[in-house]
Amino acid sequence: MVTVHVEARNDPGNPGYVKLGGETCELNVWATTDDLWKLADIEATDWTQRRLLAVGTCAGAPVWWSEEDGTVNILVGKDHETWDLGVAVPLATVRSLLAALGNLRESPRSPGAQRFSKLSVPGTRSTGKTAEHP
């Protein structure tokens, strides 16, 4: 089960973050809301053609995203060939992240304001400001 938590900010100097957590690990990716929306094209990526999405940073390094057969590979490192950390999550995790962003986009905007996701995504269990799904 992966837990998704989103804090959305569209300020490059002070971006929000996505927290993906499971029983054995947690990954925090810092990114602006505009960058996170690039993940809507995750299914157009192709690892064999080296078409990945560079979205966010983690531990000061770029984060590379690609999808294959319903699994999203998230790679953290200076490039997508020689990464330092790799995590695989179900495609449903990215869909939950995008659903959270969609909910936040509908709220009133004020520059730099912090907003937390409150997910209500079919097939997930909502726990306050996070959502869990298998």
**pTM for the structure as a whole:** 0.78
Give the SS3 label for residue 7.
Answer: strand
Report which of 1, 2, 52, 53 is spatially closest to residue 27, judged by C-alpha positions: 2
- The confidence score (pLDDT) of residue 46 equals 92
Domain ranges, ordered by start, for the chain? 2-133
CA separation for the pair 121, 19 (Å, rounded): 17
pLDDT in tens, 71-92: 999 999 998 888 999 999 999 9
* Residue 98 banded pLDDT, cuts 50, 70, 90: very high
- Name the percent of the chain lying above pLDDT 70: 77
pLDDT in tens, 11-40: 999 999 999 998 888 999 999 999 999 999
- The confidence score (pLDDT) of residue 117 equals 44
pLDDT in tens, 105-130: 533 343 444 444 433 233 333 333 34
Q: Taking a C-beta distance cutoff of 8 angstroms, is the pair 84, 61 a contact? A: yes
